[in-house]
Structure 1
């Protein structure tokens, strides 16, 4: 086992405190989120000159943007399968290596075909990181602070996107996009080295029959005096043979799959990545000017970071379900205002109103659903199939993200900016309805308690609510 699993001295000064190593585990692994955010966001600034340097049409731009999402779908599926056999930690290490390789290949790409291939490789890493990092953090974190540690991943995604926007603004000259792509090698190397010193998921170890190693990990990552044996017993109670996928076809797991895949779908259908990928392009084409468009992109990045910090607080203070129900309606309202602002066409759109509505949308959507999307699936899906089942949810994120990426500019061409934004606003309304009817509150519940509520006959949401009130 890595050195982090060594026994920790016990004394009164540390009793009841969550050890620093627990936060180190979450912080290092969440670097995968930084890479995820940077590599998906950097195309926004790079595209303004990339489309000129490589003479890309609108359709070619959509392919360059969206091919990373195709790779992410493949990476999400394979990472789940690999994690069942090799463990969560090792898969995250491999993801870091693929990130570095894809970033270098993108930076030196001589033509459109090579760039598309390189971004597909980056997509494999993005899919693997978005699938495995939340699972890894969920399985090492105690229930009391699991939400904030997991939302750290989404916060790092937002920080990565902000950094990508800043790089896009600073490296605006022709050819600067190559440097933008190459910079991702640095955090990839840090992630690969950092993961070498982190422990394996204790839940994966129990599932593999290695309870003693799991106990050593939990002893190191829990407060002094915590009942580690009781946690091991709870994990063992719901554990099944590693790699048993039969539960994916069983009726009892369907409510959790519906919740996980539904939240994954609405996280994209509500329009967030249409703005992340194309906002500078949309604003520049609407007459805002390249400089204003790029600075607006930096503002979007700042809003995502603010949303990440606020969401990290909200998911534990308000709960996952209430966070969505409070903020997504505001997100839909802001998107509707954005649509109304463009009713007269781009040239007539009031620029201050457009920018304020855009920032309000990014903030509310970021808090309301982006802070929950990577949190909910690892929480509600059962241990025995958490790897492959989370892969399906992550596949849903990237599949619907791909749908948005390949249709956003075409939709604007077909029904205009207003029509496209009104469609996204309607998706926010449908998201609220879905959450109100189907999504349970998981705040403060152990993963094992959540699974027991899922196995109990009846409504998953009501079962978990009743268990919380007992």
Structure 2
């Protein structure tokens, strides 16, 4: 069984693992770019097409409907045709969606393009973390999976740089069209990747699984891993969606879906999608200045994701979550207080809002951001791992859709202070969820994590 594996017996070619993890993680750049570029583009799209508040929310959130559909389809596809092939399909969708968005003659075509980009996001966000987790040894798995989140934050930062650069010309079409470049690079590099050895073994292609393992681990390590995978496959878990509610997978489903939903309802994507509008509420009214402030937040997100990569396999998942979510809670309530007592801050409100959002995003980046992807790719049994991650992605997408599709309306109806205090309340709920529901997975083999999670359920 998994617990019998001695990690010191598994010698790995770390250079190979970093390379394949980085390439597959490039899907995160595409995800981040298409998620982040709407913040700057929306300022000019709303004028080009005379959009109402409700239509602005729909343009932002339609990508999430596509992402949920992509997760449903991608989870089954990844289990059926493999992780590598599914990443290739996702890359193709990114290329088509980016071109269509640039050429959109009307708002309906733009929304169709955004939905297609969402479909691509669903494919890659389901598959890339699973692929990385299935190649990684337990002692460095968290760090390697964090590469996906780092790539995502890099994509958001690139989107904000492009948005700031093109803001003077209001060139929102070019903002979308530039997404073709990383999509084509992603497609080319994915062609150089091997298939996941765990997936190959699960479909009976043992010799190919051995061949992949020999490229990055020694004979003893490969044998131990394959024996452990074979033992895990003997568990009675089929590949139907309904099996996610079986005793073997139910606990993992609660952890993964619950955590990804909480990740969204704590308000992270209101900042990513509506950053310039939030800074405008705080008195930073110039479009370019608001976009620049959003860029500062995006760079902070990227930098502190590196902190998570360094610490997640040293300190563990839960200590980082306690520190990060605690910091997010404080920053949201301070921001709510500042908005509620604007007369006390006057000209400094913009600086206070920037400081709060930078602190919030820093805390998110070293905790909930990367650890969500780590947990959901670790806790499920091999037979339903891709579908399990798909279910978590659907939960994330659904809650993200609700938050992003209601943010501007909530600001109008409840006010700035109440809106951010609501997200702060959900941070408190998250702390309790981490304390009582989330397992510590640091340094443990994948098969032992899914077994223990099933026992806990």
- TM-score using structure 1 length: 0.91
Contact 1:103–1:118 (8 Å) recurs in 2: yes
Contact 2:324–2:363 (8 Å) recurs in 1: yes
Residues 270-323 of structure 1: CA deviation (Å, up to 9, x unaligned):
111011111201222443122321111110111110121111122112111221
Partner of 2:88 in structure 1?
Answer: 93
Structure 1 segment 16-95 matched on structure 2, within 5 A: 16=11, 18-95=13-90
Partner of 1:384 in structure 2?
Answer: 383
Range with bigger deviation, 443-452 or 423-432 = 443-452
Contact 1:238–1:451 (8 Å) recurs in 2: no
Contact 2:247–2:454 (8 Å) recurs in 1: no
Q: 1:221 aligns with which of 216, 225, 229?
A: 216
Q: Which runs of 4+ in 1 moved over 4 A?
A: none
Give unpaired runs (5+ residues) of structure 1.
1-14, 461-470
1:451: how far off? 2.2
Range with bigger deviation, 25-34 or 232-241 = 232-241
Specify the SS of the correspondent of 1:251: coil
Residues 1:343 and 2:340 aligned together: yes
Contact 2:336–2:418 (8 Å) recurs in 1: yes
Distance 2:294 2:173 in 1: 19
Structure 1 segment 316-335 matched on structure 2, within 5 A: 316-335=313-332
Distance 1:391 1:371 in 2: 17
Partner of 2:415 in structure 1?
Answer: 416
Change (3 A) 1:429 1:26: same
Residues 1:243 and 2:239 aligned together: yes
Contact 1:53–1:174 (8 Å) recurs in 2: no
1:184: how far off? 0.9
1:106: how far off? 0.3
Q: 1:230 aligns with which of 224, 233, 257?
A: 224
Distance 2:453 2:281 in 1: 49
Structure 1 segment 188-207 matched on structure 2, within 5 A: 188-207=183-202
Range with bigger deviation, 343-352 or 434-443 = 343-352
Q: 2:260 aligns with which of 251, 264, 288?
A: 264
Range with bigger deviation, 344-353 or 397-406 = 344-353
- TM-score using structure 2 length: 0.94
Partner of 1:467 in structure 2?
Answer: none
- Aligned-CA RMSD value: 1.7
1:17: how far off? 5.3
Contact 1:300–1:359 (8 Å) recurs in 2: yes
Distance 1:386 1:155 in 2: 22
Structure 1 segment 299-310 matched on structure 2, within 5 A: 299-310=296-307
Contact 2:248–2:451 (8 Å) recurs in 1: no
Residues 146-165 of structure 1: CA deviation (Å, up to 9, x unaligned):
10010000000000000001
1:417: how far off? 0.7
Distance 1:439 1:189 in 2: 37
